[in-house]
Amino acid sequence: MAPRDAETDADANANVIRRQIESDPYCATLGIELAELGAGTARTRLEITDDLTNFHGTPHGGAIYSLADAAFAAASNADGETAVALETNVSYLEAVEVGTVLTATARETHDGGRTAEYEVVVTDAAEETDDRVATFRGRVYKP
């Protein structure tokens, strides 16, 4: 019976962590949704609306960065340990149109104990081609 209790405790803990990540007020303001959460991984989604465009009519870089950063934060905190960003960078590769749904997929690429590195790939999930829109890299510190 102990293994089942341990599994139940793990599931309950995972649900608490997921609810905490989903309650992020900044993400709610932008419309960023947590789609998946796993050990060292996360996926977030955002539909590009007129409110998220720049003066060129394309998605504002800050909106794309925020989507990637949300996936990075979720993946790096998925185990329930606090992780805070040390550094990040993003490369913008393609512009998309209003109405496009973007997906950011984060995965841990290096665990150095107190620090870890993550890669986040932002794709155009609305297209069948799943084109890469941006690439984000971030490092965290786990105090």
pLDDT tens per residue, range 6-18: 557 778 888 999 9
**Closest C-alpha to 74, from 42, 115, 103:** 42
pLDDT tens readout for residues 59-101: 999 999 999 999 999 999 999 999 999 999 999 999 999 999 9
Split into its structural domains, the chain has a count of: 1
Tell me: pLDDT of 5 over 70.
no
CATH of the domain at 57: 3.10.129.10
Average pLDDT of the segment spanning 106-126: 94
Separation CA 11–CA 81 (nearest Å): 16
Give the pLDDT confidence score for residue 3 in this predicted structure.
Answer: 56
Domain span at residue 125?
A: 2-141
Give the pLDDT confidence score for residue 1 in this predicted structure.
Answer: 47
**Closest C-alpha to 135, from 52, 72, 53, 83:** 72
Give the pLDDT confidence score for residue 19 in this predicted structure.
Answer: 94
The one-letter amino acid at 95: A
Tell me: pLDDT of 23 over 90.
yes
- Predicted TM-score (pTM) of the model is 0.90
Tell me: pLDDT of 127 over 80.
no
Beta-carbon contacts of 28 under 8 Å, excluding residues fewer than 6 positions away, are none
Q: Which residue has the tokens 């998925």?
A: 78
Show the DSSP H helices in the chain as ranges.
2-22, 25-30, 61-77
